[in-house]
Chain A
Amino acid sequence: AQSVTQPDIHITVSEGASLELRCNYSYGATPYLFWYVQSPGQGLQLLLKYFSGDTLVQGIKGFEAEFKRSQSSFNLRKPSVHWSDAAEYFCAVANSGNTGKLIFGQGTTLQVKP
């Protein structure tokens, strides 16, 4: 069965520090991979997605993610975190035929220390 695992439930980083949020997936075929962010009181917003091609994808707000097929991973990174990045981050996978049917990880809550 398809699944997504985000090993870190909660991460705290200092403002200006680098960030990496981990995501591992289990999927039979080539997955479509996504990262979403949810700020308090807001809906889920797409940060970036990988469908094919270059395995390093750039997203909004300075985020990037790298697809590593050999490790079944799609980790999210940001070189310098801002206080406004504090939010919950969700990794998700879909099949190529219907990217509206997402399977989500359990989410990682990011706290940013001043």
Chain B
Amino acid sequence: EPEVTQTPSHQVTQMGQEVILRCVPISNHLYFYWYRQILGQKVEFLVSFYNNEISEKSEIFDDQFSVERPDGSNFTLKIRSTKLEDSAMYFCASTAYNTGELFFGEGSRLTVL
């Protein structure tokens, strides 16, 4: 069964460092998303991406964040200068159409020290 894969599963970084989280969405999907879950809090929408551009973003998704689909298969989330409060589980998701079922990856846990 096709699945969304995310790497790394866990990354530890120092505050101020750049981090790139990678996702490989399901191959025929066209809509891509990042969510995050800070420990003990709700899963929150960060950004949606379609047709090689951001279609919507939340207030959380400030200038420190960026997304890219560099090669037609990967979908990346970059945090330019990490803060302690960026520590969270980050989930990638994809779907074939904008009213379809979202398929989530297993998540990448980011720990900022």
Contact = CB atoms under 8 A, between A and B. Distances in A.
A103 B106 contact: no
A58 to B, nearest CB: 15
A101 B104 contact: no
A44 B104 contact: yes
Given A43-B107, A100-B48, A90 B43 contact: yes
Interface string A74-114: 00000000000000001010001111111111110000000
Q: Is the interface of A mostly helix, strand, loop or mixed?
A: strand
A100 B102 contact: yes
Nearest to B5: A43
A90 B93 CA distance: 15
A98 B100 CA distance: 9
A7 to B, nearest CB: 14
Given A43-B4, A43-B107, A44-B43, A102 B99 contact: no
Interface string A26-59: 0000001000100001111110010100000000
B42 A42 contact: no
B106 A46 contact: no
Nearest to A98: B98
Given A100-B93, A101-B56, A41 B102 contact: no
B56 A46 contact: no
B99 A96 contact: yes
Nearest to A36: B104
B18 interface: no
Contacts of B3: 43
Nearest to B33: A100
Nearest to A41: B106
Interface of B: 3-4, 31, 33, 35, 41-45, 48, 55-56, 91, 93, 95, 98-107
8 contacts: A43-B103, A43-B105, A92-B43, A99-B98, A100-B98, A103-B45, A106-B41, A107-B42
